[in-house]
Structure 1
């Protein structure tokens, strides 16, 4: 009896992962409103009812896709306002292709679906919780929120440049890379002192 429940649980985990992977690919290619649960279920090779069972429906599935559980506290890493410009500069110029590729895919998913009332609410909630609130908390002061928004605007601009416009000239040798990081550090520092 115990063995069959273990097998079912393992299958449930694999099925859930398959649904998430299929949804990720669908939301990467299409806006929230254009993605159907039947399409995702077909891509995952499962019955559409399993999406409701595991995620509660399309909104729950989308929330799970855009929640970056790999690094949910990324923007809580800098412990002081002095660390923030260097941290963000490294994040922008980072060479780890897998991490950057994942972040850029998440950015595209959010950008494609931000105009949807349902998806937009989810995106705003997650951006506030995972990005703006931690940044504003690190910055502190009366203008912490405004400065956090300025930092996010710079990050979003780089994201649009890389993902939508496909302009990514940050693949540099070590010396040029260090100069690029320093320039971004100065840009982020300026946004914090305006």
Structure 2
């Protein structure tokens, strides 16, 4: 049985939207399996069962398709962060939800590690704008709200520390598994989130970096 491949430029706007969504989904699925550099336009087209010419027609090329993918993932998940300030433990909920993003989107980590860090490409800039830049706007405020940190600069530094705690176990996966013998199940789930939350918030409330004597 052969898969029917759509050819030509679709006229219907609904059809166009469907094909764009299919291509974005295909890119997401492939990114969960292999690196960005290994994924070809033909791979994406085959995964979506759509003619490869449609990628250039809709997105202008592979890189811009992944830019749209990044924005789609960000829009999907960041909407759930908007109401966190209404809860009495917003940082715990943020940790749980952010960790779920890392778990369910391994391609997110692949892209960050291989195509974003120390790079200035349009793809890297899109990633920075869609994720880190957005987190940097609301996470310091959550820290101020829950931990009582009045100094905004300290809250920003604390927010960066928290993101580092959450992301580094995924970026350093090989080191974590081979040197420390820590598998994925040990850095995921409710208990992991509680451990990070308790240590992080307790440290913020009980110490002031400027006043600690060494």
Give the alignment's TM-score, normalised by structure 2. 0.65
Alignment of 1:93-108 (within 5 A): 101-108=103-110
* Inter-CA distance 180–139: structure 2 relative to 1 (3 Å threshold): closer
- Answering whether residue 148 of structure 2 is matched by residue 148 of structure 1, we say no
Gaps of 5+ in 1: 1-5
Provide Cα deviations, 1:63-100, integer angstroms capped at 9, x if missing partner. 22223232223444321796333223433777xxxx66
Contact 1:41 1:48 in 2 (8 A): yes
Higher-RCO chain (CA-CA 8 Å, sequence separation at least 6):
1
Alignment of 1:7-86 (within 5 A): 8-67=12-71, 68=73, 69-79=75-85, 83-86=89-92
Q: Of the two, which has the highest radius of gyration?
A: 2
Gaps of 5+ in 2: 1-9, 145-151, 178-182, 210-214
* Inter-CA distance 104–189: structure 2 relative to 1 (3 Å threshold): farther
SS of 1:169's partner is helix
What's the CA shift for 1:11? 2.4
Instruction: Tell me which moved more, 52-61 or 163-172.
Output: 163-172
Aligned residue-pair number = 180
Provide Cα deviations, 1:165-193, integer angstroms capped at 9, x if missing partner. 44213678xxxx5x655422212314645
SS of 2:76's partner is coil
Contact 1:80 1:139 in 2 (8 A): no
